[in-house]
Chains A and B, each alone.
Chain A
Amino acid sequence: MTASASEVSVEERVRQQVERTIQRSIKGLEYISTGDPAVGLTPKDVIYSRGTLKLYHYHPQSDEVYRVPVLLVMSLVSKPYILDLTPGQSLVEFLLKQGFDVFMIDWGIPRPEDSKLKLEDYVLDFIPDCAERVLRDSGEDEVSIVGYCMGGQLSTMYAALHPDGPVKNLACFTTPVDADGMTLFRQWTDKRYFDVDRVVDTLGNVPPELLYASFDMLKPAARVAKNVQLWDNLWNDEFVKSYRMFDRWAADQIPFPGECFRQVTKDFMWDNKFAKNELLLAGRRVDLGNVRIPFIHIVAEHDHIVPYEAARPLVQLVGSEDKKEVMLKGGHVSLVAGGNAIYRLWPQLESWLGERSV
């Protein structure tokens, strides 16, 4: 009986492998001949634009919404559609269905003349400007901010410099605060070998290829392994669709505004001023202790871009009484998007934000 079961099992497995091999050939051709899947499809309006910046308002998808609107702030180095990948895999869509009124800042693709933009422009001008537009559009006097990665840094700086501002709640995802924890990036930008002034003075904005290569170098063998994994799963439509969306996003880097890069390299990477509460923006010190609103920091256990050591001090540094840190399984990107985020991060955010949005 046992022998027969194993024989059937072997036979079944061989049949399955033959089928998958045929499917791989067919789907492989499809993969090569079709374009990237569409992303960022949740219906929205551009309610404000300024230079390359666009402020989106997503169409509500529930009969009633929470009183406090939500403003999503993305990082400066990647495009925001990771938060709105595709129906069923979109944080934006999830929040809309849970009854949130959702807005998002899309920084756009910096133009050569944007190389002069500094952190001050983002923290003291663009974010406050967008927050004011959100308030005006919603008719409310408070807003919750959700920042991802460097978007979390910008949002925290904004909240710290505007303690009497309209921010009611602040949620950060995998936000770096302590450069000592970013071992490889810190090593590669060592001031003895990396002349950031020359880079910015020569190039203006930092080209996306350079950023892409540096992110890739954090996991140098991943590209080969991913291709092997893709070939292995080429028969699986869902896997291929998801792979293409993530791969497209990862490769879809945008230039980093030059002056901002200079500031981040010197003040954050070299002098670690953000963690020491010594960062100065337009002469004003960013003291994270001034953040006294409800605060949550959600970090990823296997984040190779922002290791936990770099993210850990944030919750200790903010001055809020109502604050917490949540560590979830996953990596830097799978924390916010994809199959795992649906069951891990999104419900956490919804329950935390929901009870603070009335």
Chain B
Amino acid sequence: MADKTATADPFEMWRDWVANSERQWNSFLNNAMATDEFSQAMGRMMDVYLNMQKNMNEVMGRYLQVINVPTRNDVMAIGERLSQIEDRLNQIEGALARMSVPSASGTAAPRATAVPRPPRTKKPAKA
């Protein structure tokens, strides 16, 4: 009896209650969300959101065109072209690096950074 008094902690009981409540609520809500009705409702909400977004994009695009400012699509097109240029530069860089790898001395290609490189000799510790 005395031991029970010593270990009974109202705060610990409260923490247990919070943890149990969380589990129960999660389980209850997960069950509710795993239904067709919920997915259907989510689909409808998504439809409304997408319609709003589409209308806003169109209105904003027309407005920007009127005031002679590049639209989002214009900026994206420039971004795409820059990415293509970057990709081509990477391909050229890669091809050049591949050509230079098998050097006469048989050593590895120059490293990208000057950080000290420890020898690659480590072995796993025996159990």
Contacts and interface: CB of A to CB of B under 8 A. Distances in A.
B101 A64 contact: no
A141 B35 CA distance: 51
A116 B80 CA distance: 10
B122 A66 contact: yes
B30 interface: yes
B50 A199 contact: yes
Q: Give the 8 A-B CB pairs with smallest separation, nearest first.
A: A139-B108, A193-B43, A221-B25, A2-B2, A47-B112, A113-B79, A225-B22, A354-B124
A228 B21 CA distance: 12
Interface of B: 2, 5-6, 9, 11, 15, 18-19, 21-22, 25-26, 29-30, 33-36, 38-40, 42-43, 46-47, 50, 53-54, 57, 72, 75-77, 79-80, 83, 86-87, 90, 94, 97, 101, 107-109, 111-113, 115-125
Interface stretch (A77-85, A183-191, A279-287, A291-299): A183-191
Given A45-B113, A222-B22, A132 B43 contact: no
20 contacts: A2-B6, A64-B120, A65-B118, A65-B122, A67-B121, A99-B122, A113-B79, A132-B94, A136-B109, A187-B39, A192-B40, A195-B43, A198-B47, A199-B46, A202-B57, A225-B19, A229-B18, A232-B11, A354-B124, A354-B125
Given A66-B120, A136-B97, A203-B53, A51 B109 contact: no
A232 B94 CA distance: 55
A351 B5 CA distance: 47
A188 B53 CA distance: 21
A111 B90 CA distance: 19
User: B72, B80, B87, B115: which has the most chain A beta carbons within 10 Å?
Assistant: B115
A101 B108 CA distance: 16
A18 B107 CA distance: 68
Given A63-B118, A113-B83, A137-B111, A217 B33 contact: yes
Contact of A219 (B9, B26, B50, B122): B26
A241 to B, nearest CB: 20
B87 A50 contact: yes
Main secondary structure of the interface of B (DSSP, over half): helix
A355 interface: yes
Contact of B29 (A17, A220, A358): A220
A32 interface: no
Contacts of A183: 34
User: B2, B40, B42, B94: which has the most chain A beta carbons within 10 Å?
Assistant: B42
A62 B122 contact: yes
A358 B123 CA distance: 6
B104 to A, nearest CB: 16
B120 A65 contact: yes
B19 A47 contact: no
Interface in A150-192: 183-184, 187-188, 190, 192
A309 interface: no
B76 A221 contact: no
A19 interface: no
Interface string A44-72: 01011011000001011011111100000
B101 A193 contact: no
Interface stretch (A3-11, A310-318, A329-337): A3-11
Interface string A251-288: 00000000000000000000000000000000000000
Contact of B115 (A6, A57, A133, A184): A57
A76 to B, nearest CB: 17
Given A45-B112, A136-B101, A193 B121 contact: no
Interface string A124-157: 0000010011001111100000000000000000
